[in-house]
Amino acid sequence: MIVSTLRAIYGWRWSVLPPVAGVAVMAMVLGALLVAPREVVEGDVQRLLYIHFSSILAAYGAFAIVFLASVVVLWRRDLRWDAVARGAATVGVLFTGLTLATGAIWGKPIWGVYWTWDARLTSTLILFLIYAAYLLARSMADELDEQAARFAAVFAIIGALDIPLIMMSVRWWRTLHPQPIVLRGAERPALPPEMLIVMIVAFIGVGALAVWLGVLRTETEWLAKRTAALRAAADRREGA
């Protein structure tokens, strides 16, 4: 029952995801630029909030999928989950990069610098590095190398379990130190309704885009594996 429902939902991926992602992302851009009011303190640059925040949520979601898929790779030894993990990791790295980039653009006028070794910035950067290393390591081996898939899965699991330690250590490292630029600790006023609506649209748009890209990447990955398998089989037949 659940499986067939999931299959049916998955069957809609081409008809549903691209239009939803396209429309919602356009709506987010228009909403952020036109509908949402200008933030009083930070000015227009604050309009980056919508893409910045929804990107990091998409990245966290993608990394959670990498972790789960990696556990399944070790458990079931099914290379399809390796493709899922790789697809999700690509999306996660992409959106973490987007978060870092929009954050830097936002930081310059507000904090006066593109980058500061604040705890949250630092741990996001480390997250980016870990999953970039994962992708690099996985791409160094053949698609069909089951051993390499398992190595990558082990690395992804270690990376995911390292995140709490990284966050804790980086927080101790930074907050016990005088900060050159004081991040505005004061609580942000609750978002006005227009901003909230744009934010929700941004969640939908970026979320759908991330899922779509993840699915695309996963299926590409899986097709690459099948091609490699077919090619290997053809080579064997020629050799025989």
Question: Looking at beta carbons only, is 8 or 136 nearer to other proteins?
Answer: 136
Binding mask 175-194 for other proteins (x = CB under 8 A): -xx-----------------
161 binds other proteins (CB under 8 A): yes
Question: Looking at beta carbons only, is 28 or 85 nearer to other proteins?
Answer: 85
137 binds other proteins (CB under 8 A): yes
168 binds other proteins (CB under 8 A): yes
Residue 46: both structure tokens together: 């604050």
Could you say which of 35, 157, 191, 216 contacts other proteins (CB under 8 A)?
157
**Which of the stretches 4-12, 46-54, 112-120, 172-180 binds other proteins when contact is defined by CB under 8 A?**
172-180
Q: Which residues bind other proteins (CB under 8 A)?
A: 74, 126, 129-130, 133-134, 136-137, 140-141, 147-148, 150-151, 154-155, 157-159, 161-162, 165-166, 168-170, 172-173, 176-177
